[in-house]
Amino acid sequence: MILSNRTIILGITGSIAAYKAAELASHLVQLGANVNIIMTESAEHFISPLTLRSLTGRPVATGMFELNSEFVIEHISLAEAADIVVIAPATANIIAKLAAGLADDILSSTVLATRSPIIIAPAMNVNMYENQITQSNLSKLVSLGFILVGPVKGRLASGEMGLGRFASIGDITGAICRRLGENGDLARRHLVITAGGTQEPIDPVRYISNRSSGKMGYALAEAARDRGARVTLIAAPSALIEPYGVELCNVNTAMEMYSVVNDIAPRSDALIMAAAVADYRPANAVQAKIKKADTPLTLDLVNNPDILDNVKGNFVRVGFAAESEHLAENARAKLQRKNLDLIVANDITIAGSGFGAENNEVVLIRRGGTERKLPLLSKREVADKILDEVASLLR
């Protein structure tokens, strides 16, 4: 949502990773951005302007002196129209040019002419990346306010393993969203968000857990990041990818989550407990694998502490209520018992909503009784509605 109608210049330079820029461009367009592509001459050896024009539905700038351009003095008008400039992939060559302040092609000229924030995602051979000249050029750019995303370690085009691989599309998109949202309504706020289903060990190979995927909590973390918040995500095991620009604390059990929340939340502005925390754990997790036997097995369970009930401090408290019956009534009871400012009542019987789903249908109930029933929305949309309430509570 933060990218809706934002104008992004995507600068593509001559690296083998240039083909991945097509996926990045398409992803940004799908998120609602207007993507103006500028390619260097060497980038055209790796990917055709036609591919990028087809993906963005906009002209692709390839040279300083093109006739028939829709832009007047193209690099200046592109530079002025941009909310952000992203150079991905960025070669050692463009990095050196930018560090030297050169303006000898349309991309370097545009960068020099823009007042917008600039992100660079390097991709190159490990030796070129680790070369002191490249490192000192990068340090100079970072000191001037350029944002660096990646590179990451992995298999490079040369077949070597090392640092130099293009960052993921998710990380580059995350960096763009975070930078564009940094002055949002949660700027200078610290939010602690929990996600996923805790795992309570029975023996070294088995555990008790639930169907929470973590999607709701991760969506909240990304949405809060994109509104300027500093976010700590305390996550039970999940298959989801670590969100860019969020402090991730991995935990396994309810007791671990209890301890980390108690460490961090009291110094925060708001705690949002989207995690499905196991209410019980096996009384004795055994060290050796329990052998199959012909007799039934009985597990003794003991109560886990309630995290929301016990965490002390003066911050906005938001809980979820996952209910299969008497939704509003049960949620209101939890709101009171756990002394919350807001509860997100989650009817987990609705098809395509709740545990594991992409969407969620919830009712937001404030302390004091105001209720806001929302339709079935994506978890990211639900996250933003919850954060609207949190931002207003923080005001």
Closest contact distance (angstroms) between CB of 204 and ligand PMT is 24
Q: What are the contacts of 141-147 at 24+ separation with CB within 8 A?
A: 141/95, 141/98, 141/99, 145/117, 145/118, 146/98, 146/118, 146/119, 146/120, 147/117, 147/118, 147/119, 147/120, 147/175, 147/179
Q: Pairing relation of β-strands 230-235 and 190-195?
A: parallel
H-state helical runs in 181-249: 215-225
User: Based on CB atoms, which residue is closest to ligand PMT, 83 or 388?
Assistant: 388
Q: Are 33 and 3 a contacting pair, CB within 8 Å?
A: yes
Among 87, 270, 307, 391, binds ligand PMT (CB under 6 A): 307
Q: Is 40 strand, coil or helix?
A: coil
Q: Please count the other Cβ atoms lying within 10 Å of the Cβ belonging to residue 364.
A: 20
321 interacts with ligand PMT by CB under 6 A: yes
**DSSP letter at 42?**
G
Select which of 210, 250, 262, 330 is catalytic: 210
First to last CA, the chain: 22
**Binds ligand PMT (CB under 6 A): choice among 346, 347, 384, 387:** 346
Which token pair is 172?
Answer: 């580059």
User: Which residues contact residue 24 at a Cβ distance below 8 angstroms, ignoring those fewer than 6 apart?
Assistant: 10, 86, 88, 169, 172, 173
**Residues 6+ positions from 111 with CB-CB distance below 8 Å:** 11, 79, 85, 87, 98, 118
Whole-number minimum distance, CB 223 to ligand PMT, in Å? 13
381: contact with ligand PMT by CB under 6 A = no
Q: Does 313 bind ligand PMT (CB under 6 A)?
A: no
Segment contacting ligand PMT (CB under 6 A): 86-94, 119-127, 176-184, 268-276?
268-276
Helical ranges in 265-367 per DSSP H: 307-310, 327-337
Residues 269-288 that bind ligand PMT (CB under 6 A): 273-277, 279
Of 185 and 279, nearer to ligand PMT (C-beta) is: 279
352 binds ligand PMT (CB under 6 A): no
Binding to ligand PMT by residue 254, rule CB under 6 A?
Answer: yes
Contact status: 356 vs ligand PMT (CB under 6 A)? yes
Q: Which residues contact 370 (CB under 8 A, 6 or more apart)?
A: none
Nearer to ligand PMT, 138 or 307 (CB): 307
Q: Which residues contact 393 (CB under 8 A, 6 or more apart)?
A: 270, 316, 341, 342
Query: Using CB under 6 A, which of the segments 25-33, 263-271, 285-293, 351-359 binds ligand PMT?
Result: 351-359
Kindly tell me which residue out of 34, 315, 354, 383 binds ligand PMT, with binding defined by CB under 6 A: 354
Q: How far apart are CA 269 and CA 260, in angstroms?
A: 16
Beta carbon nearer to ligand PMT, 268 or 346: 346
Select from 50-58, 153-161, 167-175, 300-308 the region that touches ligand PMT (CB under 6 A).
Answer: 300-308
Task: Tell me which stretch binds ligand PMT (CB under 6 A): 50-58, 131-139, 200-208, 213-221.
Answer: 213-221
Q: Binding segment for ligand PMT among 138-146, 173-181, 302-310, 370-378 (CB under 6 A)?
A: 302-310
CA 76 to each of CA 11, 111, 114, 115: distance values in angstroms, whole numbers, following the listed order: 15, 9, 8, 11
Nearest distance in Å: CB 254, ligand PMT: 6
How many binding residues for ligand PMT (CB under 6 A)? 27
Measured from the CB atom, the residue of 13 and 353 that comes closer to ligand PMT is 353
Residue whose CB is less far from ligand PMT, 35 or 321 = 321
Contact between 174 and ligand PMT per CB under 6 A: no
Of the candidates 307, 276, 302, 274, the residue with the CA atom closest to the CA atom of residue 202 = 302
323-361 residues labelled b (16+ CB within 10 A) or e (exposed): beeebbebbbebbeebebbbbbbbbbeeeebbbebebbb
Q: Which is nearer to ligand PMT, 94 or 308 (CB)?
A: 308
Largest distance between two CA atoms of the chain: 84
One of 14, 317, 320, 390 touching ligand PMT (CB under 6 A): 320
Whichever of 122 and 196 has its CB closer to ligand PMT, that residue is 196
Annotation marks residue 210 as catalytic: yes
> Active-site residue numbers?
210
Binding site for ligand PMT (CB under 6 A): 196, 212-216, 254, 273-277, 279, 304, 306-308, 319-322, 334, 346, 354-356, 360
